[in-house]
């Protein structure tokens, strides 16, 4: 359905076009970038990313059949000693939402984090009003850990952040359950 490739300079222009407002950018990236998003910020973002041993892996998401760029996702804040990482900057092009790409993106990133990098814990944060994302992350297998109240002040409102995570054994159980379900279908 989709494939992940390292985010590169050639993907910058299109990603910038997907960010219509400061509030949207904060929802997408937290405090990582300043609005308006610029090529310079994104070049700095990938400057130390996507090499063996990097603390950030930034991915462009492409539709396998059409080759079109449909999204972006990152695995960052990688701590190789404690074996932790954090998924962030999850974004699907507006017209590509609701097609199952989010689950596929997460399968790829979680497999990379747990199976390739050998991480033990992968976390993420999602603003509490983003009900669709929360539901999707729970379906994928992330568990809620708690809420950080009023962490962002945007357009006169405070936003609270729900913390979620998945542990490597939960990933393995999920994979085993998927394999077992496939056996029953065949």
Distance separating alpha carbons of residues 178 and 134, to the nearest angstrom: 21
Distance separating alpha carbons of residues 161 and 163, to the nearest angstrom: 6
- pLDDT averaged over the chain? 95
Confidence of residue 179 (pLDDT cuts 50, 70, 90): confident
pLDDT at 184 over 70: no
Which positions ≥6 away from 101 have C-beta within 8 Å?
1, 2, 61, 70, 71, 92
Q: Is-cis flag, bond preceding 19, omega within 30?
A: no
DSSP string, 75-109: EEEEETTTTEEEEEEEEE-GGGTTSSHHHHHHHHH
Distance separating alpha carbons of residues 77 and 56, to the nearest angstrom: 6
Nearest C-alpha neighbor of 73 from the set 96, 54, 92: 92
Average pLDDT over residues 66-92: 97
Q: Kindly report the CATH number that applies to the domain delimited by 2-185.
A: 3.40.630.30
Distance separating alpha carbons of residues 146 and 149, to the nearest angstrom: 9
Could you report the per-residue pLDDT of 133-178, keeping only the tens digit for each? 999 999 999 999 999 999 999 999 999 999 999 999 999 998 888 7
């Amino acid at each position: 359905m989709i494939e992940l490739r390292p985010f590169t300079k050639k993907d910058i222009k299109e990603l910038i076009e997907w960010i219509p407002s400061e509030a949207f950018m904060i929802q997408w990236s937290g405090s990582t970038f300043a609005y308006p998003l610029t090529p310079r910020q994104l070049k700095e973002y990938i400057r130390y990313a996507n090499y063996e041993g990097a603390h950030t892996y930034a991915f462009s998401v492409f539709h396998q059949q059409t080759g079109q760029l449909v999204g972006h996702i990152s695995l960052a804040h990688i701590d190789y000693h404690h074996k932790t990482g954090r998924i962030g900057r999850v974004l699907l092009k507006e017209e590509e939402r609701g097609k199952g790409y989010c689950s596929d993106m997460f399968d790829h990133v979680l497999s990379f984090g747990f199976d390739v990098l050998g991480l033990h814990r992968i976390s993420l944060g999602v603003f509490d009003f983003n009900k669709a994302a929360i539901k999707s992350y729970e379906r994928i297998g992330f568990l809620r850990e708690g809420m950080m109240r009023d962490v962002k002040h945007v357009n006169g409102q405070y936003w609270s952040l729900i913390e979620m995570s998945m542990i490597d054994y939960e990933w393995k159980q999920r994979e085993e359950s998927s394999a077992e379900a496939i056996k029953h279908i065949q």
